[in-house]
Amino acid sequence: MNENNEQIARFAKALGHPTRIAILRFLANRTTCYFGDIFDELPIAKATVSQHLKELKDAGLIQGEIEAPKVKYCINRENWNVAKSLFAEFFDDCACKKGGCCK
């Protein structure tokens, strides 16, 4: 339970920035997802883009693959589904059940 809390928080934290949400949406709707494609779409420095990608990767939500000299990024489907399930369960669990404190 505590484990789950930490895992959800970790995912949520990675999702907690508009740029990172935008990156994920972008990754889902393109056939080519090289760094350059992502960078072109965003109004920020490439160092910053790289940093956001690193955070998403550290959280396990995406993965990178080198296709020298480019780098191709993808959503990590396995972990994505884990996150999806955790959030779905969480939003249901906390939905003010009968006997809960909500009016």
Partner DNA sequence: AATATTGTTCGCAAATATACGAACAATATT
Partner DNA sequence: AATATTGTTCGTATATTTGCGAACAATATT
Residues forming contacts to its own copies in the complex (CB under 8 A) are: 1-2, 5-6, 8-9, 12-18, 20-22, 24-25, 27-33, 72-75, 77, 80-81, 83-84, 87-88, 90-91, 93-97, 99-103
Q: Does 26 bind DNA (CB under 7 A)?
A: no
Q: Residue 31 has what DSSP assignment?
A: S
Q: Does 55 bind DNA (CB under 7 A)?
A: yes
Runs of H (alpha helix) within the chain: 2-14, 18-28, 35-41, 46-58, 77-93
Q: How far apart are CA 81 and CA 103, in angstroms?
A: 33
Q: Does 47 bind DNA (CB under 7 A)?
A: yes
- The single residue among 28, 45, 74, 88 that binds DNA, judged by CB under 7 A, is 45
For β-strands 70-75 and 62-67, DSSP reports them as antiparallel
Q: Is 69 helix (H, G, I), strand (E, B) or coil?
A: coil
23 Cβ partners below 8 Å, 6+ apart?
38, 42, 49, 52, 53, 56, 62
- Cβ proximity to DNA: between 13 and 84 the closer is 13
- The single residue among 12, 15, 71, 75 that binds DNA, judged by CB under 7 A, is 71
CB of 76 to its own copies, least distance (A): 9
Q: Does 17 bind DNA (CB under 7 A)?
A: yes
